[in-house]
Amino acid sequence: MAGNPPHGLGVPDCNRRKGKRMRQHDSRSAGEADGTGERASAVVVGGGLAGVTSALALADAGVEVTLLEGRPRLGGLAFSFQRGELTVDNGQHVYLRCCTAYRWFLDRVEGAHLAPLQDRLDVPVLDAGRHRLGRLRRTALPVPLHLAASLATYPHLSLAERAAVGRAALALKGLDPADPALDNQDFGSWLAAHGQSERAIEALWDLVGVATLNAVAGDASLGLAAMVFKTGLLSEPGAADIGWARVPLGDLHDGLARKALDSAGVRTELRTRVTSLSRQENGRWRVEVPGESVEADCVVLAVPQAEAHDLLPDGAIDDPDRLLAIDTAPILNVHVVYDRKVLKRPFFAALGTPVQWVFDRTETSGLRTGQYLALSQSAAQAEIDAPVAALRERYLPELERLLPAAHGAQVLDFFVTRERTATFAPTPGVGRLRPGAHTHAPGLHLAGAWTATGWPATMEGAVRSGITAARAVLTALDRPHDHLFEEAA
């Protein structure tokens, strides 16, 4: 819980306008004093969350930054588009209170008030087969007692299963997610070895894990799973409180991001796809785009792993083909517009049904009548290429099972959005494939949720990677970086 630019923010258009040529960026003549009369420069390739974060962090440190993005918008795979009167997010994205780097990003673009957090974790969980509602809630008690009351009354598990969950959680708390041995094990086998039934895995572990890892427990690295559960559920009482945007994602990741970049002095070039990178004899970098080039002291390459593989110069990293071995995993999003209100809650998770998580997107989308629900379906390998008609036949009856008010309601619109490469696949062994920010090429650094952040492919991981890359650039330039978010170091 991973089109056209959004409207309504009054943000200046940073697209390349007709007749505009991208000038060669040689900031050595910029003359902004830093003690030498010269101003350091950087090019950031990629305008997703990682690239935007790097660009902002570097500009805040006084570096002259050019941001190049091939799409007509910023935000990467967390974006919005227009469908009639609806402003649609390509998929439902949430974050947790423990996602401190993404919260830093929201503050930096002045959008935190548009994506508030719950006061306290509260997740309604509907069991379609048993027609029962449970809740995963926390109290203000210290960890792990903050979840004890919720677990003790969780109706989707037996008393024995609840006790076994508690024991497994304590065992998980003792693991070190950075231990390379954990990266080679799968989470499902570990859970089974620690007394977790299939029902417990479905009703609790996968309920959380599939949404955050984009994989079922049996397909997920134990190291990444341990990181998710230790950080989100077993670190601080409020760590798992959920936040999500109350405006279209494009308003945050494109509109407000562009406004922040403009204010920071970043030159943003959209619809500008980079074709090659090369280091010049003078030690500077040349970044080629069709018909033109940009030169700078440093480059942050913040693009997906396959694209990074194609752009990396020879010798930049050891075994560059390992980037191609980082597999991807899809997310399917099902969008349904009803003629009336069928859901009273802002969201819920589901069991005993193909439906995973359902969010009310009515107000966010701008819909004036009826209700718009978005279903977020992670680890969707089996359905990512299914025809819309087949998905409609599958999911509408399931929504009626979960929501009695949907019986008799008219479906005004039904459509799907598909992200076939939504995240990197968090499979066992993926940790040894993920590179860090540094490369062997001086002045060239990597960013992206797929790099070695220690996090799965989330908005938090993307922002952390951007901060880490910016720190690496500033270190190489011998510039201070105390202004940057400390925990991402």
Does residue 84 carry a pLDDT above 70? Answer: yes
Residue 251: left (phi > 0), alpha (psi -120 to 50), or beta?
Answer: alpha
User: pLDDT digits over 392-440, tens only?
Assistant: 999 999 999 999 999 999 999 999 999 999 999 999 999 999 999 999 9
Mind listing the pLDDT tens digit for each residue in 274-316? 999 999 999 999 999 998 999 999 999 999 999 999 999 999 9
- Give the Cα separation of 152 and 154 in Å (integer): 6
Rg (CA), the chain: 23
Tell which residue, 337, 414, 441, 425, has the closest CA to residue 380: 425
Alpha helices in 71-158 (DSSP H): 100-108, 148-152
Closest listed residue to residue 133, CA positions, set 372, 455, 361, 352: 352
Identify the pLDDT of residue 482.
72
Which pair of structure tokens corresponds to residue 119? 């006061």
Model pLDDT, residue 6: 28
Q: CB-hemisphere CA count at 13 Å for 301?
A: 32
Q: Residue 279 has which token pair?
A: 């280091």
In the chain, the N- to C-terminal Cα span, in Å, equals: 25
Q: What is the pLDDT of residues 306-363, one digit of tens each?
A: 999 999 999 999 999 999 999 999 999 999 999 999 999 999 999 999 999 999 999 9
* Cα–Cα distance measured from residue 403 to residue 391, given in angstroms and rounded to the nearest whole number: 18
Q: Is the Cα torsion angle 235, 118, 121, 79 positive or negative in sign?
A: negative
Segment 99-139, tens digit of pLDDT:
999 999 999 999 999 999 999 999 999 999 989 999 999 99
What are the strands of the beta sheet with 132-137, ordered from one edge? 132-137, 122-127, 347-351, 357-360, 371-378, 328-338, 411-424
Q: Is 310 helix (H, G, I), strand (E, B) or coil?
A: helix
Residue 338 has a pLDDT of 98
- Other beta carbons within 10 angstroms of residue 427's beta carbon come to 19
pLDDT > 70 fraction of the chain, expressed in percent and rounded: 91
Confidence of residue 34 (pLDDT cuts 50, 70, 90): very low
Note the pLDDT tens digit of each residue in 209-250.
Answer: 999 999 999 999 999 999 999 999 999 999 999 999 999 999
Mean of all residue pLDDT scores within the chain: 92
262 by DSSP, 3-state: which? helix
The band of 32, judged by pLDDT with boundaries at 50, 70 and 90, is: very low
Who's near 159: CB < 8 A, 6+ residues apart?
Answer: none
Compute the distance between CA of residue 361 and CA of residue 85 in angstroms, rounded to an integer: 13
244: left (phi over 0), alpha (psi -120 to 50) or beta: beta
- Is the pLDDT at 484 greater than 80? The verdict is no
- Element at 418 (helix H, strand E): strand 411-424
Per-residue confidence (pLDDT) for residue 486, from 0 to 100:
63
Distances (CA, A) of 284 to 26, 296, 437: 10, 6, 18
Per-residue pLDDT at 265 exceeds 80: yes
Q: How far is the C-alpha of 413 from the C-alpha of 79, rounded, in Å?
A: 20
Identity at 462, one-letter amino acid code? A
Q: Is the peptide bond before 6 cis (omega within 30 degrees of 0)?
A: no
Order of strands across the sheet with 444-446?
A: 267-269, 64-68, 41-45, 298-301, 444-446
pLDDT at 487: 53
DSSP class of 481: -
pLDDT at 3 (0 to 100): 36
Residue 33: is its pLDDT beyond 60? no
Q: CA-to-CA distance for 148 and 144, rounded, in angstroms?
A: 7
Q: How confident is the model at residue 480 (pLDDT cuts 50, 70, 90)?
A: confident
Pairwise CA distance, residues 354 & 164, whole Å:
26
Tell me the pLDDT band of 268, cut-offs 50, 70 and 90: very high
pLDDT at 12: 30
The confidence score (pLDDT) of residue 24 equals 41
Q: How many helices (H) and strands (E) does the chain have?
A: 15, 19
Mean pLDDT across the stretch 69-74?
97
Q: pLDDT, tens digit, for every residue of 171-216?
A: 999 999 999 999 999 999 999 999 999 999 999 999 999 999 999 9
Whether the predicted pLDDT of 481 surpasses 80: no
Query: How many CB atoms neighbour CB 215 within 10 A?
Result: 26
- Rounded alpha-carbon distances, angstroms, from residue 159 to 130, 166, 204: 17, 11, 14
When pLDDT is cut at 50, 70 and 90, the band that residue 37 belongs to is low
- The answer, yes or no, to whether residue 365 has pLDDT greater than 70, is yes
Please tell me the predicted confidence (pLDDT) of residue 479: 83
The band of 17, judged by pLDDT with boundaries at 50, 70 and 90, is very low
